[in-house]
């Protein structure tokens, strides 16, 4: 058994879909798994491209997105190590429903449709886990549709700021300090708007005394006030 194959088997065993397989089963699947490295900004696949198999992220992050005819990008998800991509077209034989691009330097593992489907036939629990993953992503997409349909850019931005503050914020004498995880353009892509509206709304919230803004560095001065605005923002 080569070191390369053992290394791939270890990565496969850490994924949510394949973690139930035995060591020998993982090693057998590793023998049919290919490695691929992408540079930051490199496209993994494009929307409507034929799906050839399952992609697993071993290192780095991948952005899943849709692009409008006008060139506007809507981010659907950002996936990281241990997560799989494009599970559904592996089963239905369809094309990729969205595009995927490397956010930073990425290492991927690839299993062909035929090999992955064969393993699902031998191990039905994998197919059930795929259904769980796909179901979770469907719920997330419904949430995105609901936000885009029924909330304003201001509300979506406030919700995003509060989520980041709760998970990554640091309480200081100035307030709850956080750093935006991406540029204003990338935040706009995630929230279904344009960069100018993100910048404008950040400045507006600062003028109202709720935030201090310095590029990507944010201080939440009044979290309760932000939560109250979720009910009234226009």
User: Is-contact 18 29, C-beta < 8 A?
Assistant: yes
Q: Are 20 and 126 contacting, i.e. CB atoms less than 8 angstroms apart?
A: yes
Range 131-142 average pLDDT = 80
Please report, for residues 128, 166, 204, 233, the alpha-carbon distance to residue 229 in angstroms, rounded to integers and kept in the order given: 41, 17, 13, 5
Encode pLDDT of 78-129 as tens digits.
Answer: 999 999 988 888 888 889 999 999 999 999 999 999 998 888 888 888 878 8
Q: Output the pLDDT for position 142.
A: 81
Q: Please provide the average confidence, as pLDDT, over all residues in the chain.
A: 87
Please, are residues 56 and 15 in contact by the beta-carbon 8 Å criterion?
yes
Q: Does the structure show a pLDDT above 60 at 171? A: yes
Q: What is the mean pLDDT of residues 5-31?
A: 83
Q: Which helix (H) or strand (E) holds 144?
A: helix 124-150
Band of residue 135 on the pLDDT scale cut at 50, 70, 90: confident
Q: Is the entire prediction scored with pTM above 0.85?
A: no
CB neighbour list of residue 23: distance below 8 Å, 6 or more residues apart: 9, 13
Those residues with Cβ within 8 angstroms of residue 100's Cβ, 6 or more apart along the chain or in another chain: 43, 44, 45, 55, 62, 63, 64, 65, 85, 86
What share of the chain has pLDDT > 90, as a percent?
38
Question: Position of tokens 């592996």?
Answer: 90
Whether 234 shows a pLDDT value over 70: the answer reads no
Average pLDDT over residues 43-50: 94
Report the alpha-carbon distance of residue 113 to residue 53 in Å, rounded: 4
Region 154-176: mean pLDDT is 89
Query: What domains can be seen in the chain, in order of their start residue?
Result: 3-149 (2.60.120.10), 152-229 (1.10.10.10)
Per-residue confidence at 4, pLDDT binned at 50, 70, 90? low
Q: Angle CA(29)–CA(34)–CA(38) in degrees, nearest 5?
A: 140
Mean pLDDT of 165-174: 87
Determine the angle formed by the axes of helices 195-207 and 184-191, rounding to 10 degrees: 100
CA–CA gap between residue 82 and residue 105 (Å, rounded): 15
**How sure is the predictor about 1, in pLDDT bands with cuts at 50, 70 and 90?**
very low
More confident residue, 206 or 70: 206
Residue 129: how many CB atoms within 10 A of its CB?
20
Please determine, for residue 168, whether its predicted confidence score (pLDDT) is greater than 90.
no
Q: What percent of the chain shows pLDDT beyond 70?
A: 96
Asked if 206 and 199 touch (Cβ cutoff 8 Å), the reply is: no
In the predicted structure, residue 5 carries a pLDDT above the cut 60: no
For residue range 6-17, list pLDDT tens digits in order. 589 888 988 878
């Amino acid at each position: 058994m080569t070191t390369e194959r053992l290394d791939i088997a270890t990565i496969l065993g850490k994924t949510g879909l394949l973690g139930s397989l035995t060591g020998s089963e993982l090693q057998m699947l590793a023998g049919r798994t290919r490695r691929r490295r992408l540079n930051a900004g490199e496209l993994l696949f494009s929307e409507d491209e034929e799906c050839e198999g399952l992609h697993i992220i071993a290192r780095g992050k991948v952005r899943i997105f849709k692009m409008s005819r006008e060139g506007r990008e809507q981010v659907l998800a950002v996936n990281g190590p241990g997560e799989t991509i494009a599970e559904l077209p592996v089963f239905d034989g369809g094309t990729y429903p969205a595009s995927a691009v490397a956010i930073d330097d990425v290492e991927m593992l690839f299993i062909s449709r035929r090999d992955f489907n064969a393993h699902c036939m031998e191990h039905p629990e994998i197919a059930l886990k795929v259904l769980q993953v796909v179901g979770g992503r469907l719920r997330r997409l419904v949430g995105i549709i609901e936000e885009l349909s029924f909330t304003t850019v201001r509300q979506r931005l406030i919700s995003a700021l509060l989520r980041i503050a709760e998970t990554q914020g640091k309480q200081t004498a100035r307030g709850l300090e956080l750093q935006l995880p991406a540029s204003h353009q990338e935040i706009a892509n995630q929230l279904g708007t344009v960069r100018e509206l993100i910048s404008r709304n950040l400045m507006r919230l600062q003028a109202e005394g709720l935030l201090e803004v310095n590029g990507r560095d944010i201080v939440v001065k009044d979290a309760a006030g932000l939560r109250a605005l979720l009910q009234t923002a226009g």
